[in-house]
Amino acid sequence: MYRTASGEEIFVIDGHTHFWDGSPANQKNVHGKQFIECFYAYHANLSPPEEKWTLEQFEKYDAQTMHDDLFVRGYDDMAILQSTYLTDFYNNGFNTVERNSALKKKHPERFILNGAFDPRDGNKGLEQLHADAEKYKLQGVKLYTAEWRGESKGYRLDDKDSYKFLEAAQKLGIKNIHVHKGPTIIPLNKDSFAVGDIDDVATSFQDLNFIVEHCGLPRLDDFCWIATQETNVYGGIAVALPFIHTRPAYFAHVMAELLFWIGPDKILYGSDYGIWTPKWLIDKFMAFEIPEELSKETGSVLTLETKKKILGLNAARLYDIDIEAQKKRIDAIGGYQHLAAAHAAE
């Protein structure tokens, strides 16, 4: 919960978090090592110095650290756990739904658990999706289209097989499809970050919501274009948000563009934990304003109302969270005790 200077409380749903194991013990090969080191480069490059972790801390953290970083030290009220398998890189997978579910079980009022599927897994994958949907009551999945599977280095959402999985998801009540584009989409000669396949499936599956993680970066321009055309395409601002510290002017431009093209109702906050932590991201976000000149040019203003939407209201709508009821649930297990103490001290 974030409390403004005037005492107004803002309910925060973190749209993108991970409980991963990227430690050397779990790394299967050089790709596993390079994968977590690439994440670490994002962390080290964009975090304020005092928020930097060591590589060892970063490779693997425990459940309590994550809980406290998000909900005690940070302002998150709830967080969405996004599952990523990467079984070609990690012995036990990187961030599987099984691993995430342990965390959800421990803190059911805090976490929304998303699954994952991979159309290349065929019928076995469809069966698994059915089982996972039932077992974990999935409302969403995270798709990493650049995941390696043996000889294959990725897939497209408009493949025939992807359609089968999206149809299955729709039937199973999974309505939020988080998509993360990566660098190895086949065929490799095409622009792997192109978002045209999202455009295609968003048109074909009107009842599903497509949340494009990292707002399509590095294709923000193309993403804005398709997101204005499709009513069911959303943008997650993980990765864009930490620029608020290192490059506030660029962040202002990105926000101005997103607000101009897709509007305040379709942008979702995400920390991308453990790449970044919510405390500093939200402190800076709440203090942030789009510079006047840019506001005048684009008509985009980051009002308190808009910030509330981005930080929680939009995700609450997608995941059917009744915020007042949820607050009571969290309060009932003592989830806000640290706030009471902090407020008393003020």
Partner 1 sequence: MAAAINDDRQAQIWARLQTVTDPELDEPVTDLKFVTAVEVDADNRVRIGFRLPTYWCAANFSFLMADDMRRAVLELPWVEAVEVTLGEHMYADKINAGLAQGLSFQETFGDEADGDLDEVRRTFLLKAFQRRQAALLAHLLDAGHRPEALVTLRFDDLTQLRFDEAGTTLLGRYLERRAVAAAADEPLAFVDADGDPLHAETLLTYVRALRRVDVNAEFNSALCRGLLHVRFDTETPITPRRTGLADQTSQLSA
Phi and psi at residue 69, to the nearest 5°:
-60, -40
Enumerate residues 261-300 that contact partner 1 by CB under 8 A. 261, 297-298
- Please name the helix (run of DSSP H) or strand (run of DSSP E) that holds residue 161, with its range, or none: helix 160-171
Query: Cβ 244 to partner 1, closest distance in Å?
Result: 12
Whether residue 321 contacts residue 78, with contact meaning beta carbons closer than 8 Å, is answered with yes
How many residues make contact with partner 1 (CB under 8 A)?
41
**Which DSSP string corresponds to 12-51?**
-EEEEE---B--TTTB-SHHHHHHHHHHHHHHHHHS-GGG
Among 18, 99, 107, 253, indicate the residue that binds partner 1 (CB under 8 A). 253
Residue with token string 């993980």: 238
- For partner 1, the closer of residues 40 and 319 by Cβ is 40
Nearer to partner 1, 32 or 119 (CB): 32
Q: Which is nearer to partner 1, 88 or 283 (CB)?
A: 88
Rule CB under 8 A: which of 24-63 touch partner 1?
Answer: 31, 34-35, 37-38, 40-42, 44-46
Cross-sheet strand order for the sheet of 111-113: 13-17, 78-81, 111-113
Percentages (nearest 5) of helix, strand, coil residues in the chain: 50, 15, 40
- Which CB sits closer to partner 1, 37 or 158? 37
Q: Which is nearer to partner 1, 289 or 305 (CB)?
A: 289
- Which range, of 79-87, 158-166, 178-186, 283-291, touches partner 1 by CB under 8 A? 178-186
One residue of 192, 209, 271, 314 binding partner 1 per CB under 8 A: 192
Contact segment (CB under 8 A) with partner 1 among 64-72, 95-103, 190-198, 310-318 equals 190-198
Q: What mask of x and - would describe binding to partner 1 in positions 196 to 235, judged by CB under 8 A?
A: ---------------------xxxxx--xx----------
Q: Which of 173, 310, 138, 286 is nearest to 238 (CA)?
A: 310
- Closest distance of CB 42 from partner 1, Å: 7
Among 63, 188, 332, 342, binds partner 1 (CB under 8 A): 188
Largest CA distance in the chain: 60
Structure tokens at 291: 């510079």
Nearer to partner 1, 124 or 160 (CB): 160
Beta carbons within 8 Å of 120's beta carbon, 6+ residues apart: 149, 152, 155, 161
| Min dist. Cβ of residue 45 to partner 1 (A) | 4
Q: Are 275 and 39 in contact (CB under 8 A)?
A: yes
Nearest to 174 by CA among 226, 104, 112: 112
- The nearest distance, CB 248 to partner 1, in angstroms, is 11
**Neighbour tally for 16: CB within 10 Å:** 29
Q: Which residues bind partner 1 (CB under 8 A)?
A: 31, 34-35, 37-38, 40-42, 44-46, 153, 182-184, 186-193, 217-221, 224-225, 240, 243, 246-247, 250, 253-254, 257, 261, 297-298
